[in-house]
Structure 1
């Protein structure tokens, strides 16, 4: 992987009132990599993604996107510059159809032709969405909603994709499809992915690098292969 990170998180601290949820977190995300962020419930994983994507304000520290300090900028700026966040549960708008949700994802991309090309690419990745284009998102299964959430994010043509628990509540077959799609996108388009997952074994099996959070701090980091092979670390922090 290239040495130059596309995303740098430096001493990032954030909290809720008197509670510190992130405690001086530092990570370097290489361009074109898939990195896992792991840890127990309450470790700070979701807060990390929300702070990096501009949905939550940092108390201190910096977030650099391609070397530019974006710490104090909002989520709209991040999307325009290629950093897209898919929250836990996908965040699709259930009152809208599949087509309308996809159209919303492409609003930041200039040019009708480019948006049409992006839409076709998404539908090729997820043929099931083509079959359900006119259906309200409320009628989709859990797996279809996650495909729609990922497809809507891809409509914005991200360079960095932040994914929070994409496999939550999904059947293993659907989870494998989503994980396989992430690897295909990395290989074909150089997409960088930061993946928060409760299923640590599954996440480490498809990622290049992993960071383990505990009580808001990074306690272990390394290649995914090394983390999988570290029995003491896995038992202490990941529960397998």
Structure 2
């Protein structure tokens, strides 16, 4: 018997007024996989993640996390169910220190010992943060802020991590470091990642499966290897 997918999306529809941003989107994400969501600007990628995490209300359809319907629960409750969203730009609070930002991510965790253990894991994963724990997040570089945003999400102990454009505005070397880190997280923690990424080539190089959106609809899905090799699809929807 096949293992139940950790995340299932059925007929998900979302709109902004009269404009349909997602139109009956279906997705299946296996446990421990890294899936790319690709498409041009305005294709609906960010709206998809916002709807999955409850920040955007679904007009129709369902989001199932390990078979449990989480479509209508408040956005803050998604974290308790194991689904954490890192929005585009990371959303770190620049007035707080690095350590304070990280602690925010683990607030709902009851045990002080558990929070301390997660903090130790995060700074081990991101060594630059260890050296800057007492500094305001405003002093961090773009790459360090992205590390902080992902580290804060990991403090909540997610089973599914939604990442929106983690490489946006970063140098190629830092982008490569972020992508390598995602592979390490999957290997070490059995973490499932849904990655929205404008750099399609970079995303497909580390993911297992890809979904291509166009005008709010899934127009193609396949293994990342086959999507990368499909010249017609790449030219039509991904621009490379």
Compute the TM-score of the two structures, normalised by the length of structure 1: 0.98
Mapped pair 1:5 → 2:27: no
Counterpart mapping for 1:144-223 below 5 A: 144-223=144-223
Q: Please provide the CA RMSD for this pair.
A: 0.7
Counterpart mapping for 1:1-240 below 5 A: 3-240=3-240
Corresponding residue pairs, total: 239
Q: Which segments of 5 or more consecutive residues in structure 2 lack a partner in the other structure?
A: none
1:88, CA displacement in angstroms?
Answer: 0.1
1:4, CA displacement in angstroms?
Answer: 2.0
Runs of 4+ in 1 over 2 A off after TM superposition: none
Measure the CA separation in 2 of the matches of 1:210 and 1:75: 25
Measure the CA separation in 2 of the matches of 1:214 and 1:205: 21
**Alignment deviations for residues 90-148 of structure 1 (CA, whole Å, 9 cap, x no partner):** 01011111000000000121200010000000000011001111111111110010000
1:9, CA displacement in angstroms?
Answer: 0.5
SS at match of 1:40: coil
Larger mean CA deviation between 201-210 and 178-187 belongs to 178-187
Larger mean CA deviation between 212-221 and 178-187 belongs to 178-187
SS at match of 2:198: coil
Measure the CA separation in 1 of the matches of 2:163 and 2:105: 15
Measure the CA separation in 2 of the matches of 1:95 and 1:77: 25
**Alignment deviations for residues 52-108 of structure 1 (CA, whole Å, 9 cap, x no partner):** 000010000000011000100112111011100000000101111100000000012
SS at match of 1:75: coil
SS at match of 2:76: helix
